[in-house]
Chain A
Amino acid sequence: MANIVDDEMIEYVGILAKLELSGKEKEQAKADMGKMLDYIDKLQELDTSGVEAMSHVFGVKNVFREDVVTNGDRREDILKNAPEEKNGMFMVPRTFL
């Protein structure tokens, strides 16, 4: 069955993905995503009742450690990559309009 991806759905996905698409990109995304969903729908052919979802192949459990600092103070190093910084802190645009 062909999946129809409409404007509303693309709008919604754009919000989730934090992406702003141009009109042309939106049309392309609708077509591409429809096609990909049609393809992924192939999975529905398989009966997976009673099958447990597998997230990790070896069933590795959570790995815990003591909360001890092992690295030194690298603030200056880290801030070198910040698009904007001020007084040793990351600078962000206005958060309330």
Chain B
Amino acid sequence: MKMDVLDLPAVELAEKIRAGEVTAMEALQAVLDSIDEKEEIYHCYITVDRDGAMRKAEAVQKKIESGQLCGRLAGVPAAVKDNICTRGILTTCASRMLGNFIPPYSAEAVLRMEKAGMVIIGKTNMDEFAMGSTTETSAYGETKNPWDIGRVPGGSSGGSAAAVAAKECFAALGSDTGGSIRQPAAFCGVVGIKPTYGTVSRHGLVAYGSSLDQIGPIGKDVTDCAALLEVIASYDKKDSTSIKRDDTDFMDALSEDVKGMKIGIPIDYFGDGLDDGVKDAVLKAAEALKEKGAIVEGFYLSLVEYAIPAYYTIASAEASSNLERFDGIKYGYRTPECGGLHDMYKKTRSEGFGPEVKRRIMLGSFVLSSGYYDAYYLKALKVKALIKKAFDDAFARYDVILGPTAPAAAPVLGASLSDPVRMYLGDIYTVAVNLAGLPAISLPCGRDVEGMPVGLQMIGDCFQEKKIIRAAYAYEKARGPFAAPGLLTSAADGKN
């Protein structure tokens, strides 16, 4: 019975819990057993809170039985990326710098999940401070892709995406600054949504690029992601960029009706550097939507190649400012030996941060420094305005923009970090969405020649999550069930 439970999507599991067919404790136990079996191989988690989760599952079960909790995800065990604060549970950001940090409060998104009766299992692995595209910059070891343990799960929310794919949780929170939910979802064959900026409170999310960061759901299918997004979307006074919305009933958008929906495919997304397998799978998905009555056509989005340089300038600048708070005084790591206050700052930060984080802090400090501010930072903000304008023009004509999530499927472990610029190029289809504050979804649309999952990205105009959810749901139904990876259950299996 246990294995059956693990195969269920989150929304169906919650239905069974409400119907009394499964208890929240049984669902959690199935996940904990799955973690025991596979975690040694995949390493999706940094922290698993077994006892705390079981206590919560028991409390939730009682409330479900007494009718106090009846939400669509009540009783569902879920994971949270380790840059999202959880009261009383270690939150490391996959950095040595926060290796001992136990938050005295929970992020608003986590509070919303708990209020909805979801059971937090633990904290997932990620690139250090969410800076990376492979989860290899984690200070706590790399996560393996459940489809092929010789490959990366993507990043930075690689642990969350891999945990969903490996059935080590039913759904998870990720965060997306430049593609960190969508790209790992694509690489692991699961679904992820980056919401419109301001839709989910950033309170309690350890800041990287504040103008770009959004928390979002990663799940087995579009329905699960819509349900989880509905749970976590909220206006929050504690986040001054939070936006009041009254259209966050995202599950209402789960309809297959795409008749007359206008879908634009940026022709400039299909140039050099795009893998043939990815291209074919994405165009086939577009064809499937056309058959369901959508109007699909190609157009030139323009400025595509300027998104990455603008993004890395802005994200690094904000990171250099945000990460100044790690000074060895209030929380986190402090160097054991130092001469005085300033020496302590420098040593603490040099020892606490890994290479990719230092690289971005330095670039950010440089582009913000006097003499270079106008040429780099201000220039990037102007290019951001141009990119936003290009999207505005596109959304005047189309409901949804469709394309690949990443130019290729998951690379092999160890292949990306040696050349940062090359790694950044993998973000070409995702970063512009963050610059323009738009919502986007990634869902699996096939496999490449090596059998690795390919991600389809659909981008909507600001506040138009419902359109991309509808298009994604319609495509998902047309596609049919997406095969799960053949999971290993012992390290020895991996060597065969």
| Contact status A54-B341, CB under 8 Å | no
Question: Which residues in B have their C-beta under 8 angstroms from that of A41?
Answer: 309
Question: Which residues in A have their C-beta under 8 angstroms from that of B211?
Answer: 55-57
Residue in B305, B332, B333, B344 whose CB lies within 8 Å of A93: B344
| Contact status B306-A43, CB under 8 Å | yes
> Can you list, as one digit per residue, whether each of B368-396 has a CB less than 8 Å from chain A (1) or not (0)?
01000001101111111110100000000
Given contacts A29-B359, A58-B197, contact A93 B101 (CB under 8 A): no
Among A9, A12, A80, A81, max chain B CB count under 10 A is at: A81
Question: Which residues in B have their C-beta under 8 angstroms from that of A27?
Answer: none
Chain A residue at minimum C-beta to C-beta distance from B345: A18
Is B426 part of the contact surface with A, judged by Cβ < 8 Å? no
Residue in B339, B359, B385 whose CB lies within 8 Å of A51: B385
| Contact status A82-B310, CB under 8 Å | no
Given contacts A43-B306, A74-B104, A80-B102, contact A17 B330 (CB under 8 A): no
| Contact status B341-A92, CB under 8 Å | yes
Is B177 part of the contact surface with A, judged by Cβ < 8 Å? no
Question: Which residues in B have their C-beta under 8 angstroms from that of A21?
Answer: 350, 358
> Can you list, as one digit per residue, whether each of A20-55 has a CB less than 8 Å from chain B (1) or not (0)?
110001001100110111011111111010011111
Residue in A28, A39, A80 whose CB lies within 8 Å of B421: A39
Is A77 part of the contact surface with B, judged by Cβ < 8 Å? yes
Is B365 part of the contact surface with A, judged by Cβ < 8 Å? yes
Is B488 part of the contact surface with A, judged by Cβ < 8 Å? no
| Contact status A94-B350, CB under 8 Å | no
Is B217 part of the contact surface with A, judged by Cβ < 8 Å? no
Chain A residue at minimum C-beta to C-beta distance from B320: A17
Residue in A9, A16, A58, A81 whose CB lies within 8 Å of B198: A58
Question: Which residues in B have their C-beta under 8 angstroms from that of A65?
Answer: 237
| Contact status A36-B420, CB under 8 Å | yes
| Contact status B330-A13, CB under 8 Å | no
Among A12, A74, A93, max chain B CB count under 10 A is at: A93
Chain B residue at minimum C-beta to C-beta distance from A64: B240
Is B487 part of the contact surface with A, judged by Cβ < 8 Å? no
Question: Which residues in B have their C-beta under 8 angstroms from that of A78?
Answer: 104, 330
Given contacts A16-B369, A19-B349, A54-B382, contact A60 B309 (CB under 8 A): no
Given contacts A40-B312, A43-B313, contact A52 B324 (CB under 8 A): no
Question: Which residues in A have their C-beta under 8 angstroms from that of B332?
Answer: 81, 83
| Contact status A83-B329, CB under 8 Å | yes
Residue in A33, A44, A62, A80 whose CB lies within 8 Å of B104: A80
| Contact status A93-B379, CB under 8 Å | no
Bound-state CA distance A63–B176 (Å) is: 24
A17-B364, A18-B327, A32-B359 given. 20 additional CB < 8 A pairs?
Answer: A18-B346, A19-B350, A19-B361, A28-B355, A33-B359, A35-B420, A36-B312, A41-B309, A48-B379, A48-B383, A53-B378, A54-B382, A55-B211, A58-B437, A77-B104, A81-B330, A82-B330, A84-B334, A90-B329, A93-B339
Q: Which residues of B come within 8 Å of A, CB atoms?
A: 100-102, 104, 197-198, 211, 237, 240-241, 243, 303, 305-306, 308-310, 312-313, 320, 324, 327-334, 338-347, 349-350, 353, 355, 358-359, 361-367, 369, 375-376, 378-386, 388, 420-421, 424, 435-437, 462
Q: Which 7 A-B pairs have the closest CB atoms?
A: A57-B437, A83-B334, A53-B381, A81-B331, A54-B385, A48-B382, A77-B104
Interface CB pairs A-B, < 8 A, 28 = A9-B366, A18-B346, A19-B346, A19-B350, A19-B358, A19-B362, A20-B350, A21-B358, A36-B420, A39-B308, A40-B313, A41-B309, A42-B306, A42-B309, A43-B379, A48-B386, A51-B385, A54-B381, A55-B211, A56-B211, A57-B435, A58-B243, A60-B198, A81-B101, A82-B330, A83-B333, A93-B340, A93-B343
